Amino acid sequence: MATDPGHSLSRRFVPNLAAFLVGLALAWFLEWETTDLVWSLWLSSLVIGYLTILIRIGFGAKIGSQVIFDDGFTGPRWVVGLIGVGGVLFLLGFFSLHFCGFHAGHSVFLNLFFPLPGLPETGFGEAFMNPFLLWKGVFQHLMNPYGWFLIPALVAERKGILGPFRNTTDPDFFATAARKDAIGDMITGPYRNVIRMHLLIFFFGGCHFLQIDSFAIYVVVSAVYFFPWSELKAWRSERGTATGDP
């Protein structure tokens, strides 16, 4: 049975539209200013990016374990398994230091231009090489005022979080996951989202210093962040395929 392109668009579009409206409603009813919007984006960048990393490392470990304990595997299972565990721990430690350290360093500059009451002058700079200290500070200073923003952000980023491992029931799943481009996406995907979010933060900063501090700016940026432009592009492609149009 052919899939209705309109239904496909609705299924993908409606959650993003809801996330867009919820994000706007939060900013409106909580009377957020530029500082609040900037730090909510920083928090989303950290939480969603790190969650993406954890999920992809976990799926990678799942792939490895299923390959190792498959009946057709002829190598020394426990030796390879121990090597795999060591690899998982290395990746977890490396990305925890690198990804969290990147955000800790960036918070120093953010706090210079958008100081947050109660936050030290150096932001989370003291936690540059200590992810545990960073997360402790995040829960202490940011989760209470800005944690609600994570809900629409998680909805909008649901596709990027799961990446190439969304459908493990696909018979070609392992072949797809092992492709070079899929592996590259597993590594670079979280950082691409970070770059987009931080570009939005810089945009907010520019508008703030130019004294273009209005809710309309947030509407525009939220549309860029939440609106499913890629889904519309995919729908147009599906529609063209279904109708035979180029």
Q: Tell me, yes or no, whether 1 lies in a domain.
A: no
Q: Tell me, yes or no, whether 6 lies in a domain.
A: no
**Residue whose C-alpha is closest to residue 34's, from 235, 218, 245, 221:** 218
Q: Tell me, yes or no, whether 22 lies in a domain.
A: no
Q: Tell me, yes or no, whether 75 lies in a domain.
A: yes
Compute, in degrees rounded to 10, the torsion defined by CA atoms 101, 106, 110, 116.
Answer: -10
Quick: pLDDT tens for 51-77.
Answer: 888 888 888 788 788 778 777 777 787
Of residues 31 and 93, more confidently modeled: 93
Of residues 91 and 227, more confidently modeled: 91
* Residues 6+ away with beta carbon under 8 Å from 89: none
Amino acid at 68: I
Q: How many domains does the chain have?
A: 1
CA distance 184 to 29: 40
**Residue whose C-alpha is closest to residue 213's, from 203, 226, 223:** 203
Q: Tell me, yes or no, whether 67 lies in a domain.
A: yes
Q: Tell me, yes or no, whether 8 lies in a domain.
A: no
Quick: pLDDT tens for 90-148.
Answer: 989 998 998 899 899 888 888 888 888 888 888 898 888 899 999 999 999 999 889 88
Q: Tell me, yes or no, whether 147 lies in a domain.
A: yes
Q: Tell me, yes or no, whether 21 lies in a domain.
A: no
Range of the domain at 112: 33-243
**Whole-Å CA distances, 230 to 16, 32, 102, 112, 124:** 11, 28, 28, 35, 34
pTM attached to this predicted model: 0.77
- Per-residue pLDDT band for 12 (boundaries 50, 70, 90) equals low
Average pLDDT, the chain: 75
